[in-house]
């Protein structure tokens, strides 16, 4: 089985390569990425690599050539920075996805698997779960959610135009693993905020808005879901998240906080906006809007149709990430730099 992974060196792509290589050593794996990884280390060894930018003017032609003969294409490529220049994100996330879809159609690939997100969902409930039929209109104050919603509409149009292609949409919660620690710090925090203490210091008090109720999944559990979708050629949307839901109490337990105090969401949002505008940290307030507005997902469809059962808890995945932050852990695709 020839599987092409677009965005194969990131947090999710690395985990999928690891899972597919272990599950079927005979699999013919092709990686497409903006930067070529170190092919002397796992899981990038024994992978056919194509270095290209999916937003480039010649992307469709090069993508079509790279994915020719594939049994499936997994599209993961997504930019989160620079989020002060949304047009740059749009070029990769929206135009780049359109280029991938065009190439999949041109090459006659029978199965397309796309990484969507819980962030694609419209505002919804926090205290009961929704399935994959919940509207995917995004949260309009988040560039990430808006662009994920646009991609969902692109997939709707693609399915209508190409009914012979099986289209699968994977909507995970936050994706954690130890080796993603450096990447996540770089994307969401930046070099000006000290982070190494996160895995070492017990907090006396954690103050967080009561509405911050999120879901997370370990990258290996998410990769297993992708592998099962590919094996079964399972179409449609799949919510993927580990248990338990990460509410303020659960966050307090992971961080070792003795007291968890609520704080007004508007106060935290104002602080995030000011520090982001001043470029003191890299998380724009749209991320808080996602955390406080998107619904809690049901993962029943993945469990029933894929036989998917997570091997990690969300709290253990978060703890693993925090310990990785303390150690400045990173994926082998990223060279170690001094901080």
Query: Of 120, 215, 184, 193, nearest to 329 (Cα)?
Result: 184
Q: Which of the 8 DSSP states describes residue 95? A: I
Decide if 126 contacts 213 (C-beta within 8 A): yes
Q: For residue 211, what are the CA distances in angstroms to 125, 198, 217, 310?
A: 10, 22, 20, 25
Q: Which two tokens stand for residue 221?
A: 């559990």
d(CA 132, CA 153): 15
d(CA 73, CA 100): 9
d(CA 222, CA 118): 13
d(CA 191, CA 59): 33
**Domain regions of the chain by residue span:** 2-175+217-240+296-311
d(CA 109, CA 162): 11
pLDDT at 199: 64
The count of residues in the chain is 339
Query: Backbone dihedral region of 283: left (phi > 0), alpha (psi from -120 to 50 degrees) or beta?
Result: beta
d(CA 307, CA 219): 17
Superfamily assignment of 2-175+217-240+296-311 in CATH? NAD(P)-binding Rossmann-like Domain (3.40.50.720)
For 289-329, write each residue's pLDDT tens digit: 999 999 999 999 999 999 999 999 999 999 999 999 999 99
By three-state DSSP, how is residue 232 classified? helix
Q: What percent of the chain has pLDDT over 70?
A: 96
Q: Other C-beta atoms within 10 Å of 58: how many?
A: 10
Decide if 133 contacts 87 (C-beta within 8 A): no
For 73-105, write each residue's pLDDT tens digit: 999 999 999 999 999 999 999 999 999 999 999
For 51-72, write each residue's pLDDT tens digit: 999 999 999 999 999 999 999 9
Q: Is the pLDDT of residue 196 over 80?
A: no
């Amino acid at each position: 089985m020839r599987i092409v992974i677009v965005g194969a060196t990131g947090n999710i792509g690395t985990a999928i390569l690891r899972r597919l290589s272990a599950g079927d050593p005979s699999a013919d794996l092709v990686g497409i990425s903006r930067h070529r990884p170190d092919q002397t280390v796992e899981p990038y060894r024994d992978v056919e690599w194509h270095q290209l930018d999916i937003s480039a003017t010649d992307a469709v032609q090069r993508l079509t050539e790279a994915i020719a003969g594939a049994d499936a294409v997994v599209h993961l490529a997504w930019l989160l920075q620079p989020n002060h220049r949304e047009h740059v994100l749009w070029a990769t996330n929206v135009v780049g996805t359109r280029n991938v879809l065009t190439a999949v159609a041109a090459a006659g690939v029978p199965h397309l698997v796309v990484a969507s997100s819980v962030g694609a969902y419209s505002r919804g409930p926090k205290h009961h779960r929704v399935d994959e039929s919940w509207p995917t209109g995004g949260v309009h104050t988040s560039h990430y959610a808006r662009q994920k919603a646009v991609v969902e509409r692109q997939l709707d149009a693609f399915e209508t135009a190409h009914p012979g292609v099986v289209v699968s949409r994977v909507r995970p919660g936050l994706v954690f693993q130890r080796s993603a620690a450096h990447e996540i710090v770089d994307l969401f925090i930046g070099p000006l905020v000290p982070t190494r203490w996160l895995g070492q210091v017990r907090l006396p008090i954690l103050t967080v808005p009561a509405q911050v109720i999120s879901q997370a999944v370990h990258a290996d559990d998410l990769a297993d879901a992708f592998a099962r979708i590919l094996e079964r050629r399972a179409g449609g949307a799949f919510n993927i998240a580990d248990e338990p839901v990460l509410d303020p109490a659960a966050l307090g337990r992971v961080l070792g906080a003795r007291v968890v105090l609520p704080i007004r969401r508007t106060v935290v949002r104002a602080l995030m906006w000011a520090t982001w505008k001043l470029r003191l940290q890299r998380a724009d307030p749209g991320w808080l809007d996602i955390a406080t507005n998107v619904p809690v997902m049901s993962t029943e469809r993945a469990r029933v149709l894929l036989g998917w059962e997570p091997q990690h808890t969300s709290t253990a995945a978060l703890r693993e990430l925090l310990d990785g932050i303390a150690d400045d852990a990173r994926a082998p695709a990223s060279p170690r730099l001094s901080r």
